[in-house]
Amino acid sequence: MKKLLIVFGLIFFFVIGCKGQLESGIKDISVEEMQSLLKIDDVQLVDVRTPEEFKAGYIANAQNIDYYSPTIDEDILKLDKNKPVIVYCRSGKRSRDCSEKLLEAGFQKIYNLEGGIIQWEHEGKEITNK
């Protein structure tokens, strides 16, 4: 009987855990997946690095929303909640944190670039300078 309860407990934990991942609305994507998504007209590309980092080089068509800005919560609300959002930073940590903020703000399709702009450059993709 104890084993049966443990098995049901593990199944319940697994189902709830997977359900949370599927409904989160955040998907970590590779550089290749991001390139495909960038071909969609409606996608919003957001660089959450500091303005100084952004000026040093960014992915074409990105808009800069500084994750460390005291107005970050207001700034992300200027984005269209009905359009997909791709978020990136230097290595992936800030963009993942920002993705959580976007989810809490009601955005539905959120993509986080794994490895950030470092991975983008590592794979030989272009960056733009102002």
Torsion sign, CA atoms 5, 6, 9, 10:
negative
Q: Is residue 8 part of a domain?
A: no
Cβ 115 vs Cβ 91: under 8 Å: yes
Q: Is residue 18 part of a domain?
A: no
Q: What is the DSSP letter of 58?
A: B
pLDDT of 2:
55
What's the CATH number where 113 sits?
3.40.250.10
Q: At residue 94, what is the residue type?
A: R
How far separated are the first and last CA of the chain, in Å rounded? 67
Check if 89 is active-site. yes
pLDDT of 91:
97
Catalytic residue among 89, 98, 102, 110: 89
Give the torsion through C-alpha atoms of 96, 102, 104, 109, to 10 deg: -100
Structure confidence by residue, pLDDT tens digits, 50-101:
999 999 999 999 999 999 999 999 999 999 999 999 999 999 999 999 999 9
Residue 7 reports pLDDT greater than 70:
no
pTM of the predicted protein model:
0.80
Tokens of 94: 């800030």
Q: Is residue 73 part of a domain?
A: yes
Number of domains in the chain: 1
Q: Is residue 48 part of a domain?
A: yes
Q: Is residue 13 part of a domain?
A: no
- Domain, as residue range, for 104: 25-122
Measured CA to CA, the distance from residue 100 to residue 90 in angstroms comes to: 17
Q: Is residue 55 part of a domain?
A: yes
User: 3-state class of 105 per DSSP?
Assistant: coil
Q: Is residue 84 part of a domain?
A: yes
